[in-house]
Copies of this chain bind each other. A is one copy, B any other.
Amino acid sequence: MSNVKKVTKDKNLRIVPLGGLGEVGLNMILFEYRGKILIVDMGLGFPEEDMPGIDCIVPNISYLKGKKKNILGAIFTHGHYDHIGAIPYIIPRIGPLPMYASPLTKGIILKRQEDFPNQPKLNIEQVQNGSKIRLGPFSIEFFKLNHNIPDNLALFLQTPVGNIVHTSDFKFDETPVNDSPTDFEKLKRIGQRGILLLMSESTGAEEEGHSLSEKTILENLDKIFKKTNGRIIAATFASLINRIQQLISLSEKYGRKVAIEGHSMKTNVEIARNLKRIKIRKGTLIKTENITKFPDSKITILCTGAQGEEDAVFMRIANREHKFIQLKKGDTVIFSSSIVPGNERTVQYLKDEFHRQGAKVFHYKMMDIHASGHAKQDELRKMIQLMKPKFFLPIHGQYSMLVRHAELAEEMGIRKENILVAENGQVINLTANRIFIDQKRVPSNYVMVDGLGIGDVGEVVLRDRQTLAKDGMFVIIVVVDRQAGKVRGSPDIISRGFVYLRESKELLKETRLRVIRIVNRATGSRGAVNWSYVKDEIRNKIGEFLFSRTKRRPMVLPVIIEV
Q: Give the interface of A toward B (CB within 8 A).
A: 22, 48-49, 52-53, 206-207, 341-342, 344-346, 348, 351-352, 355-356, 361, 365-366, 398-400, 403, 450-453, 456-458, 460-462, 464-466, 468-473, 475, 477, 479, 488, 492, 494, 496-500, 503, 549-552, 555, 557, 559, 561, 563
Contact = CB atoms under 8 A, between A and B. Distances in A.
Contacts of A494: 475, 557, 559
Given A456-B503, A549-B452, A561-B492, A497 B461 contact: yes
Contacts of A206: 365-366
Contacts of A342: 342, 344-345
19 contacts: A53-B472, A342-B345, A351-B400, A355-B399, A355-B400, A356-B399, A361-B400, A450-B471, A456-B499, A456-B500, A461-B496, A461-B499, A464-B472, A466-B469, A475-B559, A479-B563, A492-B559, A492-B561, A494-B559
A20 to B, nearest CB: 14
Contacts of A361: 400
Quickly give the copy total for this chain.
Answer: 2
Across the A-B interface, the 8 shortest Cβ-Cβ residue pairs: A451-B551, A469-B469, A468-B468, A341-B344, A352-B399, A52-B469, A465-B497, A464-B497
Contacts of A468: 465, 468-469, 472-473, 496-497
Q: Which of A361, A451, A551 has the most CB of B within 10 A?
A: A451
Contacts of A207: 365
Contact of A470 (B53, B348, B471, B475): B53
Contacts of A552: 53, 450-451, 453
Nearest to A407: B360
Q: Which of A206, A344, A473 has the most CB of B within 10 A?
A: A473
A102 to B, nearest CB: 31
A450 B48 CA distance: 24
Nearest to A498: B461
Nearest to A469: B469
A206 to B, nearest CB: 6
A362 to B, nearest CB: 11
A469 B451 CA distance: 14
Nearest to A459: B500
Q: Which of A49, A468, A470, A492 has the most CB of B within 10 A?
A: A468
Nearest to A55: B551
Contact of A500 (B457, B503, B551): B457
Nearest to A342: B345
